[in-house]
Amino acid sequence: MMGEPFASDPYVVGKSAPPPEPPHIPAEESLCPVVLHDWVNSEYKHLVVEASPKALTVTPGQFFNLLCPSPDVGELFFRRPQSVYRVNRKRGRIEFLYKCVGRGTRGLSTLQKGDALNMVGPLGVGFRLDPAWRHIVVLGRGVGIATLGPISQLARDNNVGVTAILSARNADFVMADTFFREAGDVVSVLDTDGTSAVDNVEKILAGLIAQKRADAFFTCGSNRLFQLMKRLGKAHNIPGQVAMEQVMACGLGPCYVCVRTFEVDGKKELRRVCIEGPVFDMQEAVGW
Amino acid sequence: MVDMRVKVGSVSLQNPVMPGSGCFSTDLAQVMDINRLGAMVAKTVSREYRAGNPPPRAAEVEGGMINSIGLPTKGIKYFFEHQVPDYRRFRPPLVASISGTTIEDFEAMARDVAKGDIDVLEVNISCPTRDPKGGNFALHAEHTYEVMKLIRATTDKPVWVKLSPNAGDIVTVAQAAERAGANALVVANTILGLKINTDTFRPAIGNKFGGLSGPGIKPIIVRMVHQCAKAVKIPIIGCGGIVKVEDAVEYMLAGATAVMIGYLTFRNPSGMIAIIDGLEEWCAKRGFARVADLTGAMIDEPPMETFAAAAAPIG
């Protein structure tokens, strides 16, 4: 657009015209009106936007690259990748649950109802669900819990049982436990009472394995818990998937900024979180 | 109707807008119609696999970003077996970018890449992040001449050379490249920089130094395009910090025949398309029948006498 400080041609959600991009292009830059934006505790915010038809094709584990407003007098020059917490296709809404930690998320937190959020997506490779599984285990720590929302929703919709182990500093930071309760069983483990210790989580996982309620593992948010699941997954031959983060620039593949290390048959390789992930095979991921 | 076509030497482009090397791959088909671009510019390829530099590989700074990716590549074999056929699903001309460690390596790379199914060879002698000290051929006129002379002899295909803004005198480097037979100059690569994380006291990126790009560097590179355009006859492709239509116009007024876009795609993936459309609109509004007429159209008069200028209307 002429006169704009940064040229772009986003699809404006709510505009009467059909999406400008041909349908074979799976993602797009879109301007999405904020419909709800509330604090859920002292650090986490819940953001709901009205999304474009293309954005609503997002699958569990995929992400959007968000252009956050600046929280200060400077400008933000990178987008911020953000996984999706919930999708409400009936109402055309996408929800994010994020932790205010840096400039990007602090800027994001300034958005008001009615403001437009510029999102690029849906991007990346998400979680895979095998309908033959009868029961899966999702293990999330902190804000990583949010990323496991959509796969839990999908499992429930496919009559696959879910046990959600939600790890947090204290009860205030166990997010979305009511949401996960709709999908299956919830076990909260906390730092305050020591239940979040890796040994204890291992006991819980071992119990689920013994009860044959662990056909697949899913995790996000903690390297220690990822390593635990990877070890148990390997010992018991349970397939697993991990959603990973990395400093990202383009979010689309070309720039090779967001690489992480993977190991296949003893050979190390780098993969891009934005396009080869953010969800990866647990046994191939090295961790962070 | 504005004629958006430009010619970079013998290479005809449907419009003057193309991506900068390292900022483009067919992955962008996720968000854009690649067939609308003036050309496709592949990421730099080296002979052998290179893992690239340690993360974090980029950080934002005021005015843009700093990066040190380190030219990761799967090597020349993979490039021709997998990447070139993938690019050829799209219609714009394909520019292959090459790197090498020695002058002989560059020469051999040029020979082997140019004979493949590519349209233009871009020689990346200016990547500031390949060598941790930021050194490269494009810092010196004589090194540029030597390597480009050998490369020129390997192929009849168009050869573009990407220059470095870190050279002390980019104009003599540009002239050396022209003398050696380059068909066009890409002005320029990134500016070597350092960002320090004030929480950790460590460099913000894994390789310590990185290349600065984005709108903050644009006036520096526009100046270099202008200076080079005055000093050489071969076409120039302007590259550095274009984020809006007027930036592309500025580069062309300074003397660029075409432009490359990098950072903007990271911020707004639909940006290159918006600039192609906006540039056409801009030309129509200003009464330019051909976008090519913008090239070198900056009015370059001697400065006014100071008292007369200080007594003149603003603007």
Predicted ipTM > 0.85: yes
- At residue A20, the pLDDT reads 57
Cross-chain residue pair A29–B268, CB shorter than 8 Å: yes
Where in chain B are the domains? 6-310
- How far is residue B28 from each of residues A79, B70, B234, B305, measured CA to CA in Å? 16, 21, 30, 51
Cross-chain residue pair A247–B269, CB shorter than 8 Å: no
- Contact of A264 with B75, CB cutoff 8 Å: no
- At residue B297, the pLDDT reads 98
Strand, helix or coil for residue A153: helix
> Are domains A11-123 and A135-242 of this chain identical in fold?
no
Measured distance CA(B186)–CA(B238) in Å, rounded: 6
Q: How many CB atoms lie within 10 A of CB B181?
A: 15
Question: Please, what is the average pLDDT of chain B?
Answer: 96
Q: Can you tell me the mean pLDDT for B56-79?
A: 96
Compute, in degrees rounded to 10, the torsion defined by CA atoms B259, B263, B266, B270: -30
The residue assigned the tokens 């095979």 is A281
Please report which confidence band the pLDDT of residue A267 belongs to, taking 50, 70 and 90 as the band edges: very high
DSSP lists the bridge partners of residue A96 as A47
- Contact of B66 with B210, CB cutoff 8 Å: yes
- Contact of A237 with A108, CB cutoff 8 Å: no
List, for residues A189-240, the tens digit of each pLDDT value: 999 999 999 999 999 999 999 999 999 999 999 999 999 999 999 999 999 9
Nearest Cα neighbor of B204 from B60, B64, B72, B63 is: B60
Q: Is A12 on the interface with B (CB under 8 A)?
A: no
Strand B40-41 relative to strand B94-98, pairing: parallel
Strand, helix or coil for residue A240: strand
- At residue A1, the pLDDT reads 40
Measured distance CA(A127)–CA(A277) in Å, rounded: 9
Q: Which two tokens stand for residue B183?
A: 């068909």
The class level of CATH for A11-123 reads mainly beta
- At residue A178, the pLDDT reads 79
Strand, helix or coil for residue B140: coil
Measured distance CA(A258)–CA(A270) in Å, rounded: 9
**Amino acid identity, position B268:** N
Per-residue pLDDT at A3 exceeds 60: no
The residue assigned the tokens 């006859």 is B233
Residue B15, burial from CB neighbour count under 10 angstroms (0-12, 13-18, 19+)? buried
- Contact of B125 with B149, CB cutoff 8 Å: no
**Amino acid identity, position B42:** A
Measured distance CA(B162)–CA(A233) in Å, rounded: 49
Q: Is B25 on the interface with A (CB under 8 A)?
A: yes
Per-residue pLDDT at A17 exceeds 70: no
Measured distance CA(A248)–CA(B56) in Å, rounded: 9
Task: Name A97's Cβ contacts closer than 8 Å, sequence gap at least 6.
Answer: A40, A44, A45, A46, A47, A85, A143, A145, A146, A149, A175, A176
Catalytic positions of B are: 127
Closest partner residue to B31 (CB to CB) among A27, A74, A246 is A27
Q: Is B251 on the interface with A (CB under 8 A)?
A: no
Q: Is B132 on the interface with A (CB under 8 A)?
A: no
- At residue A4, the pLDDT reads 66
List, for residues A106-156, the tens digit of each pLDDT value: 999 999 999 999 999 999 999 999 999 999 999 999 999 999 999 999 999
- At residue A183, the pLDDT reads 87
- How far is residue B81 from each of residues A137, A249, A271, B51, B77, measured CA to CA in Å? 41, 28, 20, 19, 6
Sign of the four-CA dihedral B147, B152, B154, B159: positive
Cross-chain residue pair B267–A26, CB shorter than 8 Å: no
The class level of CATH for B6-310 reads alpha beta
List, for residues A64-101, the tens digit of each pLDDT value: 999 999 999 888 999 999 999 999 999 999 999 999 99
Q: Can you tell me the mean pLDDT for B205-209?
A: 95
Alpha helices in chain B (DSSP H): 76-78, 84-87, 103-114, 141-152, 170-179, 218-231, 245-254, 263-267, 271-286, 306-310
Mutation target among A8, A79, A269 for the B interface, most CBs of B within 10 A: A8
Please report which confidence band the pLDDT of residue A5 belongs to, taking 50, 70 and 90 as the band edges: confident
Measured distance CA(A37)–CA(A46) in Å, rounded: 6
N residues, chain A: 288
Per-residue pLDDT at B70 exceeds 70: yes
Q: Which two tokens stand for residue A284?
A: 């191939």
- Give contacts of B 57-76 with A, CB under 8 A: 57-65, 67, 69, 72
Q: Can you tell me the mean pLDDT for B229-233?
A: 98
Q: What is the percent of chain B with per-residue pLDDT over 90, rounded to a whole number?
A: 96
- At residue A18, the pLDDT reads 61
- What is this structure's pTM? 0.94
Mutation target among A120, A255, A258, A260 for the B interface, most CBs of B within 10 A: A255
Strand order, beta sheet including B209-213: B58-61, B64-67, B209-213, B191-194
CATH code of the domain made up of A135-242: 3.40.50.80
Where in chain A are the domains? 11-123, 135-242
- At residue A24, the pLDDT reads 83
Q: Can you tell me the mean pLDDT for B227-240?
A: 98
**Amino acid identity, position B136:** N
DSSP B218-281: HHHHHHHHHHHHHH-SS-EEEES---SHHHHHHHHHHT-SEEEE-HHHHH-TTHHHHHHHHHHH
Measured distance CA(B5)–CA(A126) in Å, rounded: 41
Q: Which two tokens stand for residue B57?
A: 């590989």
Angstroms from A245 CA to nearest CA on chain B: 12
Q: Can you tell me the mean pLDDT for A15-24?
A: 65
List, for residues B251-275, the tens digit of each pLDDT value: 999 999 999 999 999 999 999 999 9
- At residue B315, the pLDDT reads 79
With beta carbons under 8 A apart, name residues in chain A contacting B281. Answer: 2
